[in-house]
Amino acid sequence: MAVPHTSMHPVTSASRRSRRLLPQLSRWASPAQRRVALPVVGMISGLLVAGIGLFHHAARDLTQVPPGYVALVNQQGVLMSDFISQTATETEEPFTQTTAAQRAHVLHEMIDKELLVQRALALDLPETTEEVRTTMADAVDAQAAAPTQAVQPTEAQLRAYYNAHRDRYSSQGTMTVLNLVLHVGGYQNADQTVAQAQADAVEAVYQLRSGAAVSYVMEHFGLVDASPQYDSQQLDFAAKLHLGAQLYQVATMLGSGEVSDPIVQNDGVHVLVMQQRQPAAVEDFPNARAQVYNDYRIALTDQAARQNLKFLRSQAQILLAPGQSE
Amino acid sequence: MARGAGSRWRLLAGLALPLLLAAALAGWALQARWHRDALARALLRTYPQDIDANPALVRFADEEAKPLFARNCAVCHGAQMQGNPLIGAPALVGGHWLWGNGSVFQIERILLYGIRSGQPQALNVTEMPAFGLMGRLTAGQVHELVQYLMKLNHRPYDAETANAGQTLFYSQLYGCYDCHGTDARGEADYGAPNLTANYWNNGGSEQDIYDSIFYGRHRVMPAWQGRLSLEQIRALAVYLHGLSHGSAQGSVQGSAERG
């Protein structure tokens, strides 16, 4: 029997099929048969649901130790593999040769440690303790960098790195320098002006360059030795710290035995006497290659760590308080 | 009425039969599932060194591991487990183990934590230094060492050059023997290979060996903990152990074909 078409909407093929099926069902099954069929359909559906439930992975039962673990400490497992490894390490014997008492002792210690770690997490040590944070951050960096070390650099890559960072491969220069100061209005002449002090310094420089003894010139012109107490050779970076940028710049231009021109600074007029000078020298590639190799690999590690952080930042939501910047 | 009752019973029988069949199938599948789960639990609960003594567990592990190997390991180690010298991935058949002696426990540790993977528990105490790149050996000295290794492996060599290489090998300055052993048979605790077995992870040609010494090697095996389940890792360890000791079920070829 055809179902009269009453809808004004277009009839789809699916709706046409269902309309053909309903009369067929009513012909196939009597009302009594349909009364049986419905519970059966329900049973099949129930079986299907039960089957899916049975074969679906159930949540882990944490009231007993899962396979592969030797203990469960507050739901946190102690791996069998770690236990075997730890037992062998502590007893210095193969695991198979360890006694039950030794194994029990090691397991006791591992459970203690797990409890302490859990307590540390409860105390929020990763957020509050700098040492823990540093260790965690270093561990993440190490994991990010591990793949970068797998490929050895080529000779060309090392040379390119050396050429790009040549300044890193300089040997440190050394100097032994006297820093003499003529304080303006010093103890010898309270009315001295800067111009007068400068003129005295010029004369002192002249005498020093002419070979006069440093001690004589110091005494005659009232110069004070402002060098560090120990009169020894200093690496360039140390000399820079002691002299300050301006005097250090002048000092690096002096050779052994040379005397600088007077240099006016806030505390007086300085004269530098370079007693011994060994300038910095750039190491050539063959001599520096071991260091270049190490530096290159460290640079790869740093690059991996930066890329990892870039990724983490791209995934993170970072909010800064008003007025803050990073 | 009789005809109506008869058709009702026929309908019931017609429905009950497929239902019984479905129930039987479900029961069979359930039983298989329970059996598999029981084996999986037993595989993980048994100490690694004791698994070999249980053939049912070994069979189960092999069956579980074959498709896992094809999906996760074959890309580096090769479908035939022949290794890949280009990336230093070792062959997993033949019983040559760089780290440890190939016990189930040691293979499992490597799978769990990797080699130089960046994991704190990974095997990472050593690497093959880049003796040439770092300027510790000249190209000529590396060549001398290569000739000495040729001699150790009963391959054609130049006697004079090999003697010079032998001197270098035992020199305190370079200390090859320190890792590879005074008999050059390697040290499994450091992952230092046996240099007398003519078996080379990174290729065995003279040029390959020269490159290993000149440029060094720093191969990485990733850690699989977290990517594979404990059960899968244990199954792979048992499978690989069996293959290298000749007890795994089925040939390597078979495993590759299945994968």
Residues B92 and B145 in one domain: no
Q: Which residues of B214-241 are buried (b: 16+ CB within 10 A; e: fewer)?
A: bbbbbbbbbbbbeebebbbbbbbbbbbb
Tell whether B133 is covered by a domain.
no
Test mutation, A45, A93, A152, chain B, max B CBs within 10 A = A152
Chains A, B: CB contacts within 8 A come to 108
Same domain assignment for residues B155 and B91: no
**Residue A104, pLDDT above cutoff 50:** yes
What distance in Å separates the CA atoms of residue B248 and residue A217, rounded to the nearest whole number?
Answer: 93
Taking CA atoms, A317 is separated from A138, A312, A314, in Å, by 22, 10, 8
Query: What range does the domain containing B13 cover?
Result: 1-45
- Of the candidates B19, B41, B117, the beta carbon closest to that of A44 is on B19
Task: Average the pLDDT over each of A28-42, A80-94, A160-174, B25-39 and give the range with the smallest value.
Answer: A28-42
Same domain, A140 and A178: no
Coil, strand or helix at B79 = coil
**Is the Cβ pair A289, B135 closer than 8 Å?**
yes
Substitution target in A43, A44, A72, A81 with the highest count of B β-carbons within 10 Å is A81
Distance from CA of A322 to the nearest CA of B (A): 38
- The three-point CA angle B90-B92-B95 to 5° equals 105
Q: What is the pLDDT of residues B137-194, one digit of tens each?
A: 999 999 999 999 999 999 999 999 999 999 999 998 888 999 999 999 999 888 999 9
Report yes or no: A11 at the B interface, CB cutoff 8 Å: no
Phi, psi of A275 (to 5 degrees): -85, -40
Q: Which of A144, A161, A191 is the last residue of a domain?
A: A144
Same domain? A211 vs A266: yes
Answer yes or no: is A303 within a domain.
no
Q: Hey, what are A325's tokens?
A: 């910047």
Do residue B164 and residue B204 come from a single domain? Answer: yes
Return all residues near A84 (Cβ < 8 A) that are at least 6 apart.
A95, B47, B48, B105
Q: What percent of chain B has pLDDT over 70?
A: 93
Closest CA to A120 of A108, A104, A105, A136: A136
Count the alpha carbons within 13 Å of A142 in the hemisphere toward its beta carbon.
15
Specify if A185 maps to a domain: yes
Instruction: Output the DSSP codes for A268-314.
Output: EEEEEEEEEEE--EEPPHHHHHHHHHHHHHHHHHHHHHHHHHHHHHH
Using alpha carbons, list the distances in angstroms from residue B113 to A91, A314, B59, B160, B225. Answer: 22, 28, 25, 44, 7
Interface test with A, best of B31, B84, B113, B134 (most A CBs within 10 A): B134
**Is A323 part of a structural domain of the chain?**
no
Q: Are B91 and B116 within one domain?
A: yes
Tens of pLDDT along A183-195?
887 656 667 788 8
CA distance readout (Å), B79 to A205, B91, B258: 83, 10, 10
Question: Average pLDDT in the A193-217 region?
Answer: 90
Are both B53 and B170 inside the same structural domain? no
- In chain A, what residues touch B116 (CB-CB under 8 Å)? 146, 149-150
Beta bridge partners of A77: A72
Domains held by chain A: number: 2
Q: Which domain holds residue A84?
A: 69-144
- Cross-chain CB nearest to B234 (options A68, A145, A147): A68
Q: Is residue A308 part of a domain?
A: no
| Same-domain pairing of B70 and B34 | no
Q: Is the domain of A99 the same as that of A140?
A: yes
Supply the CATH number for residue A257's domain: 3.10.50.40
- Min CA distance, B74 vs chain A (Å)? 19
Residue ending a domain, among A100, A128, A144, is A144
Question: What is the pLDDT, as a whole number, of residue A1?
Answer: 40
Judge if A87 and A137 occupy the same domain. Answer: yes
Higher pLDDT, residue B118 or A53: B118
Residue B118 with chain A: CB contacts under 8 Å: 139, 142-146
Token pair recorded at residue B116: 């130089």
* Closest residue in chain A to residue B235, using alpha carbons only: A68
Pair A244, A196 in one domain: yes
Same structural domain, B114 and B230: yes
Q: Which residues of A touch B134 (CB under 8 A)?
A: 289-290, 293
Indicate whether B116 and B145 sit together in one domain.
Answer: no
B240 domain-assigned? yes
Asked if the C-beta of A146 comes within 8 angstroms of chain B's C-beta atoms, the answer is yes
Domain annotation covers residue A48? no
Question: How far off is chain A from B171, nearest CA to CA, in Å?
Answer: 19
Task: Compute the average pLDDT of residues A12-27.
Answer: 56
Q: Which CATH number goes with the domain that contains B173? A: 1.10.760.10
* Confidence band for A209, pLDDT divided at 50, 70 and 90: very high
Clarify whether residues B225 and B210 are in a common domain: no
Q: Are residues A132 and A182 in the same domain?
A: no
Q: How far apart are CA A155 and CA A31, in angstroms?
A: 89
Flag if B215 and A152 touch (Cβ within 8 Å): yes
A59 occurs within a structural domain: no
Cβ <8 Å between A68 and B47: no
Instruction: Give the pLDDT band of residue B248 (cuts 50, 70, 90).
Output: low
> Is the Cα dihedral B195, B201, B207, B213 positive or negative?
negative
Model confidence at A277, pLDDT cuts 50, 70, 90, reads: very high
Q: Is residue A285 part of a domain?
A: no
pLDDT digits (tens, 9 = 90+) for A51-93: 666 666 555 556 899 999 999 999 999 999 999 999 999 999 9
pLDDT of residue A288: 92
Among the listed residues B224, B241, B201, B220, the one whose alpha carbon sits nearest the alpha carbon of residue B68: B224
Average pLDDT over residues A236-255: 93
At A57 the pLDDT is 58
Domain co-membership, A182 together with A249: yes
Residues of chain A with C-beta less than 8 angstroms from the C-beta of B117: 143, 146
Contacts A144 to B, Cβ<8 Å:
118
- Give chain B's domain count: 3
Place B250 in a pLDDT band, splitting at 50, 70 and 90: very low
pTM reported for the whole predicted model = 0.70
- Write the secondary structure of A194-246 as one string of H (helix), E (strand) and C (coil): HHHHHHHHHHHHHHHHCCCCHHHHHHHHCCEECCCCCCCCEEHHHHHHHHCHH
What contacts B94, CB < 8 A, 6 or more positions away? B199, B244
Chain B neighbours among A 71-110 (CB < 8 Å)?
79-82, 84-85, 95-96
